Every structure is written in C-alpha cells, then in structure tokens.
Amino acid sequence: MCGIIGVVGRGDETLDVVLDGLSTLEYRGYDSAGVALSTPGLDVQKRAGELENLRDAIDAGETAPAGSVGIGHTRWSTHGPPTDANAHPHVDESGGVAVVHNGIIENYQALRDELASEGVTFDSDTDTEVVPHLVSRALGDGLDPEAAVRNALDRIEGSYAIAVVLADEERVFAARNDSPLVLGVGEDATYLGSDVPAFLEHTRDVVYLDDGEFAVLDPDGWRVTDADGTPVEKSVTTVDWSAEQTGKSGYDHFMLKEINEQPTALRQGLSGRLDELAGRVTVDQLDGLSTPGRIQFVACGTSYHAALFGVEALRSAGIPAQAFLASEYATGPAPVTDDTLVVGVTQSGETADTLSALREADARGAETLALTNVVDSTAARECDHVLYIRSGPEIGVAATKTFSSQLVALSLFTAELAERDGADSRELVAALRDLPNHLQHVLDESNAEAVVDEYLGSESYFFIGRGSAYPVALEGALKFKEITYEHAEGFAAGELKHGTLALVTDETPVFAVVTGDDERARKTIGNVKEVEARDAPVVAVTDGASDVERYADAVLSVPETHPRTAPVLANAQLQLVAYHMANRLGRSIDRPRNLAKSVTVE
C-alpha cells in the first residue's frame, strides 16, 4: 500500500514528474499526498485527500516547490487518520530532512519515546516521523548524509520502502525491507517507485531492489549496496508493457477498461501454452516442477477465491489440494511433507501476508510456486518456481482481468499435472482456445446494466453457487461490496438453509451461478426454489443447460462451454453487475474508500 516516486536528473521538470508519477500511483493509496523537492533548500507540500487537493494547494501558492531532486508519496493510512499533518513526506525539526515510507515500523513507539525524551517534538501520529528525526540526530553527530540514513535504518524494525532527501543534497537515498521498491533507469535521469507505473512514461528499464538493499540516486546514475555497504551487482530488466497500457483509453473508469481487456489478457495468458494438435497443455515454466503429492494454496482476497477454484479443479483431477488464507497460514501453518507444493497466488507478487506464508512454507521444507502477474516481483524471485498469468497492468483497485487470468492459469496448472498421470486434456484445450471469443460475446451482449436498474436500492444482495461456481459467487459478492459499498455476501448454495435464509426477503436479490446440467446444477436449482418461496428475486447467471431460467426473475447469459471455463464467463457478468451498480450510485469505482491495490502490510 501507499505509493512512492523519486527522481534525480530532470531539472526544472522535477515537480511535474513527481506529481505525474503520483497520479499513476493513486491506486496504491489516496488518503493524502505530498512532495519534497531539494536543491536549493528543501521544500515540502502535502495535503489530506486525493492528489487533486495537493495540486490545488500548489497552484494556489505564491511559489511552487522547486528543486532538481524530488520525492513524492500517496498514502493509505495505517498509523493516524488522513490529515495534512499525517501526510508524507515527514520532516525533522530543522526542515532539512524529508522522508516518505511504505510499510510499518514496529518499534516506532520505543523510538518515539526515546526521541521525545531528548526534546524532539512530533507533529504527526505516524510511525514514519521517527525516521527523519533519527537521520537528523545522526547528522548532528557528524555522520555524512549516506551514513546518517544508514544509521537511522539500523535503528528501525519492521517492513519498509523508504526514500530520503536532504536540503541542498542532489541525491535520493532509498532502501527496502519487505515492501517493494524499484528503480527506473532513463537516459539522463534515474527514477524510484513503489511500482513500475510511477515512471513508466519515462523509461521501461527497471532494477528491482531486494530486501536489505540500499540505493543511492544521483546525477551520475545509481548504485546499490547491501546493508553493510558492499556493492551489489543488479541487472536491468525491460518491462514488456507501455505507458499507454496504464491509461484509460477513452473509458470512464480503469475498471471498465480492464473488464473489457479480459479477452486480450486471456489470449496473452494462453499464448504458447496450448498444443491444439496434440490436445495438451504445454507450460514451459512448469517443466522443472516436481510432481507434488499434495498442494497447499496461500492467498488473500480475490486471489484466495482463485485458489478455491484451483482446489476444486485439482481435486476433480484426483490431486489432493487445500486453500488457506495467507494471513492464517503464516501464523499457524499446515503440516508439510517432502512432496508438498505450496502455491502463493498473488496478483502483485508483493502481498505481505502471502509472502509471509510462502516464507514459512519454505522454512518448513516445502517446494514453492508463485502464481503472479508481475515479472521479477518478490514472490517470483523468492519462490522455487513461478507461473506468470500475463494479464498486463491492472490499475483499478478492484481486480478484474487478473482474477480471470488466475482462473485460466490454474486450469493450465491443473491440466499440466493431470497429464503427467495420463489425463486427456483435449476438451479443456478446445474450450480454452475458444474462451477469449466466448468472453468477448458475454461482454458485447451483457444485459447487466438493465438488471442493475431493476434491483438498484435493494436491502442486500446474495450470491450463491456450488463447486467451481462457489468461488465465483464469493468473488461476485466481493466485487459488489468493495465498489458499491452496499451489503453483499457470497455463499456455497447449500449453506443458505443453514442460517442465511433468515435474511432473505423480497428486498434481497439472489444471484445464482448455475452452469451445466450436472448434480450440482440441479441442487442449486433447489436452492433457487427455496429463496423464490421467500419472495426473493432471483437473477440466474447461466448457460441455459439446466433450465434454471424458468425459476428466475432475470437472466445473465453465458455460452455453453467446459466446466473449467464456464466460471470465467459467469464471473464477467457479475463484474459488470458490480460496475454498473457502483456507477449508478456514483461511487469512486477505481479508488474505493479504505482500499488500496497492493496490500504490502500484514
């Protein structure tokens, strides 16, 4: 969470570069924003609220912040409410040291008490503010700027990505520990960001920092050392997506753009991974993977719903599998054996809880695999194996195309393992080949907007499904609640009668995901009849195979397809329901309240 941008080498353009970088990072936090520019002096401006508030304050001032070196920050609050005082950057009492920080400093209270006892006055409620005071104290003790920053870092415990600028210093000092930080290498300038979009407009060449590394950006370029100051050789990677891909491309919201990008994202995820002639899945990234005896998934939020889909797919193929919330696994891990594979499902590859769970699994001797979207992310680098979903950049806080891509990647993963035991994947391969076109049809023909108009203003919204439709029901409810702020819950359809029916009324529409015509579909129709008997309106998301439409008040149609690909199509309809409902209610769709895109704190 939170976004960091830094730049050295852009001269008079520094302020504009920093502000534009913050604009591309607002999906990481939008409680407040601020900038600090150095040389000459040190000029800091910050404001609570969205970035526009900061821009307005700068425009209204007599002079704009000036300098050739700059850092900026957009915040998702952890310590202290979103106020001007709690916004980053934070400075020392002299105003000569400015710091931006992502993460949590666990020993900040002890450091704050120590500094207060020495006469330091604090202006904020944040944990971050101890850092500039520690740097200032080290400078007062005679240390040079780099040594002073290192000294401060030695004192703090916890997770952090930190950037520091000093008055009259043409350098940015930066370090990471359990929170992402990446350098951008331009022809005449060097950039720093918590995510690549921060500087993608200026360069696609990047250097990913690892935990414990310290970077210095200056007019001559950049250098990276370890915590002891020993130089570290770092490779420069060129990212394979452009600044244009992170724009809205004429759409009103990133979320709608990314929903409509799903057919393209799935084609990217499937490219080179289907042997249609042989009817087999061929995922080169899995070639070195041992055949596991059991699989444990660890994930959070939307990725956890994808993991539940993976469990269902693997168990159907006869492969033992379980899914765990990463936050629970990290503190109470399940037993692992020599043949256990732990799969971390994480869009960003930086999700703190998932990384902690993967590290715990590794420490216990499990083989690990990262299923992620971001090349060279922390999860990708730390795990034994990686499977990229290849969905491209996703800016909207509510995950859409990355969830669909996760489902497809997990279908490929399952088929690859099942084929090792002689399973026939011909029908699945054919369905995956057709999936992008089927998905495009759903997006083109959806009547979700009309369904939303019918049920706008309802009391609550319930989503139900069985088997692989159950994770889709959970995800549909999550999407709905996180961008509409309306009450929504997802359930395994059979659980309705174990308590939830008490909440069902004629003001609680029930979205039932029913595809195919197997026993699960027929049992779900039984659950539909139960809510219909309580006067609840029913919206069926269906391919028509089970005849559930006759019991529904409205229908969201999907093409008939393989059981493994049907959930992707049903999910797209529910994404559109959530989007149009939020749009009707005037919600902040791309930046829902209290949420951020990448959750990098536990």
Q: Which residue has the tokens 């570069």?
A: 17
- In sequence order, what DSSP letters do the residues of 410-474 get, joined into one string? HHHHHHHHHHHTT---HHHHHHHHHHHHHHHHHHHH--HHHHHHHHTT-S-EEEEE-TTHHHHHH
For residue 160 the two structure tokens come to 């952090």
Beta partners for residue 465, in sequence order = 492
Report the 10 Å Cβ neighbour count for 535.
11
- Which of 230, 234, 187 lies closest to 210 in space, CA to CA? 234
For residue 28 the two structure tokens come to 């990481």
For residue 121 the two structure tokens come to 């006055």
- Which of 601, 78, 105 lies closest to 330 in space, CA to CA? 601
For residue 410 the two structure tokens come to 């997990």
Residue 60 CA to residue 428 CA, distance in Å, equals 60
What strands lie across the sheet with 510-514, from one edge to the other? 488-492, 461-465, 510-514, 538-542, 554-557
- C-beta separation of 195 from 25 below 8 A: yes
- Which of 111, 43, 96 lies closest to 72 in space, CA to CA? 43
Contacts of 332 (CB under 8 A, 6+ apart): none
- C-beta separation of 21 from 193 below 8 A: yes
- Which of 405, 401, 430, 446 lies closest to 554 in space, CA to CA? 446
Residue 268 CA to residue 281 CA, distance in Å, equals 15
* Active-site residue, 300 included: no
Residue 171 CA to residue 352 CA, distance in Å, equals 29
Contacts of 83 (CB under 8 A, 6+ apart): 32, 48
* Active-site residue, 2 included: yes
Distances (CA, A) of 225 to 100, 154, 160: 20, 14, 17
**Of 2, 46, 300, 479, catalytic:** 2
- C-beta separation of 162 from 144 below 8 A: no
- C-beta separation of 460 from 480 below 8 A: no
Residue 131 CA to residue 115 CA, distance in Å, equals 11
For residue 552 the two structure tokens come to 């529904």
- Cα angle value 274/279/280 (rounded, 5°): 55
Residue 540 CA to residue 463 CA, distance in Å, equals 10
Burial class (CB in 10 A: 0-12, 13-18, 19+), 100: buried
Residue 38 CA to residue 96 CA, distance in Å, equals 9
**Of 46, 401, 479, 597, catalytic:** 597
- Which of 216, 232, 379 lies closest to 300 in space, CA to CA? 379
Q: Catalytic site residues?
A: 2, 597
